[in-house]
Amino acid sequence: MSVLSSMKIINVCSGKGGVGKTTVAVNLAAALHSLNKRVVIVDCNLTTAHLGVMFNIYSEKTLNGFLNKEHKLEDAIHVHSSGLHMVPASIELSELPESAELKQALQETFKHYDYVMLDSAPGIGRESLIAMKACDETVLVANPYVPSVVDSLKVKNVAKGLGVYNAGIVLNRVRGRDYEITPHEVFGFTELHVLGSIPEDEAVLKALNERTIPFFDKTPSSSAFFELAHKIAGIPYYKR
């Protein structure tokens, strides 16, 4: 009798661009990796790819190429110096791939992994739906402001309509100001719990140009990502 894989596909998504979704996806993956979880990040932002640019991965083997049946998905896996596995999207501007049958390929290719992190395109358009239909659950990313959180509600409703479980919201770039929306208010708008609050961290901006992963550099946001990873993995977290 075959044993079912316990691998989980998590779609890191947002209602709008510019909230730090890719930063959250990458650093959450790094934090899970530090917990000895086998993780791969897949760039599902098929028209404005960021993952390859962030980590200097320039290859003809991409998620776009797989969806266009040009090569196998496993051929597009690249190993970062940290040990994280990444599947970039193409930086070339082209038509969206016709094929959206991604979930089965992810399940088969990464069946020995613990987590597949999908870095989705923002919003609720056709491109973002490719990732939404391929995932087991969503983690929404928003900034601590009403418009950003309200945009998350739209994505939540799309996921619900597709039968996808919404794990909750990560508030990113939190500065601890009185005017910022609180986790209680987030729940009031969305009926979703805040999974974690990631503080504003200038080291993240520095890392973008240095093409490094801030989590591994023990930046101010690292402990927040570490706590979030424990929550995602279901491992008790004890603050030191």
Q: What was the pLDDT predicted at 99?
A: 54
**Residue bearing the bigger pLDDT, 157 or 239:** 157
The values of phi and psi at residue 78, to 5°, are -120, 140
Question: How much of the chain, in percent, has pLDDT values that exceed 90?
Answer: 78
| pLDDT, tens digit, 9 for 90 and up, residues 8-63 | 999 999 999 999 999 999 999 999 999 999 999 999 998 888 898 888 888 889 99
pLDDT above 80: residue 2: no
* Architecture (CATH level 2) of domain 20-233: 3-Layer(aba) Sandwich (3.40)
- At 100, is the pLDDT very low, low, confident or very high (cuts 50, 70, 90)? low
CA dist 216 and 169 (Å) reads 23
Residue 172: strand pairing partners:
198
pLDDT above 60: residue 187: yes
Around 65, how many Cα atoms within 13 Å sit in the side-chain half-sphere? 18
